[in-house]
Amino acid sequence: FSPADNTVDPLAISLPTVLDQASAVWDTVNNVAFVFGGYDGASYLDGIIKFNPNSLAETLLIKLPTPRARAVSVWDPDNNVAYIFGGFNSGTYIDEIVKFIGESQSTLALSVHLPTGRYFCAAVWDTVNKCAYIFGGLGGGVPLNDILKFNPTQGTITKLSSSLPSG
């Protein structure tokens, strides 16, 4: 997408599979995208795809610890890692936090978990405080209005006292 002229230029490349409900981050160090999990219309996926827009190359790298769709992810540019939060798989609301290490292209399921399994959240990385904020989502089919703070240095997740407004 070009914001200068509001145009979309289709690329002459396609993904290795049909992909819906995936999560993605932009690696600011290597200028590539990583796409996590998703759904292909029949199965929940566990693949991690690397996309290089300069060479138009896509590569299926490794697998997440468990298949998932509807997760949310953030990129930590200081440590060159992504964090993937929650997701959904065949009726299961996932509370897992997965660390994807860009340099070694490996994953690690962290010992800290979300307070409840959830999907369809929003998340951002705070470059000043070196933490992620996870906003709401669905848990057990119920809309959530909590705000979570994930501190990877301390290995903690904290539910903040403030919550999302309704409306």
Residue 14 has pLDDT above 80, yes or no: no
Global confidence as pTM: 0.91
- Cα(first)–Cα(last) distance of the chain, in Å? 30
Contact 65, 109 (CB under 8 A): yes
- The phi-psi region of residue 106 (left if phi > 0; otherwise alpha if psi is between -120 and 50; otherwise beta) is beta
Among candidates 92, 85, 94, 22, which has minimal Cα distance to 58?
22
Contact 95, 43 (CB under 8 A): no
Q: Which of 11-15, 69-73, 74-78, 117-121 has the lowest mean pLDDT?
A: 11-15
Chain segment 87-143, per-residue pLDDT in tens? 999 989 999 999 999 889 899 999 999 999 999 999 999 999 999 999 999 998 889
